[in-house]
């Protein structure tokens, strides 16, 4: 899966296996936007922006939920602005939810994972009004937001409404030495307590230990990432493939920790074709 030629052949194959609701278009395109919609009681942290394509219906309009990074203690939905993601999905027939969530400075883990569930409940309640399909959901995270996305999709998706995850260089196994002894370890210690006395908590918050519930997953990873080392993404890929779970791995050559907009622009229609098959 790491070979580009193989990936391109794989994507060409998928382009003929299309679920309804996707039309390739050039972004930006017209959309309806609701800003700072409250989905909980915290008026600063439990808010989301909603982007609805003009031509939509409750059957054929899937939903993509964006989950920002920030090491679980900072970050904001505006982090996705200008990333090349924010208008792409609405231009191609998807509703887009860009959510904030409760951060560890005030709320304890797993509050942010709970918040994804609250957003899932909210869009289900609004499905008829917004004319979106709440049973066809993709979660897209960046960094720590990917850990949250993977955790929800793999461990809390009992109703099967999350059909796919896009993992942007997220930590997948806190118990691995690349995290526990690495530069991200201190952030996880703030989140979950020191590793040596809270190993079970670090295990329980690691998506890699919930592979039985895994859904089709796309992995973006910078090869020069010095915060979430590439081994974290490779472990996830290996676990998915070993269990026959659909997976696409995209290397961002030479990229460090952060969203690689040129790399996204290069692959965005490949991602769309892949989602057309699974979402």
Domain annotation for the chain: domains and CATH numbers: 4-278 (3.40.50.1820)
Q: Can you give the pLDDT at residue 146?
A: 98
Q: For the chain, which ranges sit under pLDDT 70?
A: 1-28
Q: Can you give the pLDDT at residue 7?
A: 47
Q: Where does residue 115 rank: exposed (0-12), middle (13-18), buried (19+ CB within 10 A)?
A: buried
Q: Can you give the pLDDT at residue 82?
A: 85
What single string gives the DSSP state of each residue in 34-56? EEEEE-SS-TTTSEEEEEEESS-
Sheet strands side by side (includes 137-142): 31-38, 47-53, 95-99, 63-67, 137-142, 162-168, 217-222, 247-252
Q: State how far the Cα of 247 lies from the Cα of 238, in Å rounded to an integer.
A: 9
Closest CA to 218 of 21, 5, 6, 7: 7
Task: Tell me the pLDDT of the chain averaged across its residues.
Answer: 92
Instruction: State residue 141 phi and psi, 5-degree precision.
Output: -120, 160
Q: What beta strand segments (E) does 155-216 contain?
A: 162-168
Q: State how far the Cα of 273 lies from the Cα of 267, in Å rounded to an integer.
A: 10
Q: State how far the Cα of 105 lies from the Cα of 42, in Å rounded to an integer.
A: 14
Q: Can you give the pLDDT at residue 24?
A: 62
Q: Can you give the pLDDT at residue 23?
A: 58
């Amino acid at each position: 899966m790491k070979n580009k030629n193989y990936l391109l052949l794989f994507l060409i194959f998928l382009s003929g296996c299309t679920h309804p609701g996707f039309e390739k278009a050039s972004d930006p395109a017209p959309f309806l936007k609701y800003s700072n919609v409250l989905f909980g009681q915290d008026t600063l942290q439990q808010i989301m922006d909603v982007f609805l394509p003009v031509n939509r219906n409750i059957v054929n309009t899937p939903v993509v939920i964006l989950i920002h990074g920030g090491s679980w203690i900072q970050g904001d939905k505006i982090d996705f602005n200008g990333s090349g993601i924010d208008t792409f999905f609405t231009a191609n027939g998807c509703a887009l939810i860009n959510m904030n969530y409760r951060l560890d400075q005030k709320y304890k883990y797993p509050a942010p994972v709970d918040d994804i569930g609250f957003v899932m409940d909210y869009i289900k309640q609004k499905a008829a009004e917004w004319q979106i399909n709440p049973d066809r959901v993709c979660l897209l995270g960046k960094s720590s937001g990917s850990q949250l996305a993977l955790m929800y999709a793999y461990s809390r998706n009992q109703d099967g409404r999350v059909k796919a995850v896009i993992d942007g260089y997220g930590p997948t196994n806190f118990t691995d030495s690349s995290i526990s002894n690495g530069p991200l370890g201190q952030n996880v210690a703030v989140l979950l307590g020191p590793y040596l006395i809270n190993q079970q908590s670090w295990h329980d918050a690691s998506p890699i230990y919930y592979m039985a519930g895994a859904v089709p997953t796309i992995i973006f990873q910078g090869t020069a990432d010095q915060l979430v080392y590439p081994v974290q993404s490779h472990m996830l890929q290996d676990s998915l493939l070993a269990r026959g779970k659909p997976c696409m791995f995209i290397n961002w050559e030479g990229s460090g920790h952060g969203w690689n907009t040129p790399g996204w622009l290069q692959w965005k229609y490949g991602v769309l074709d892949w989602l057309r098959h699974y979402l």
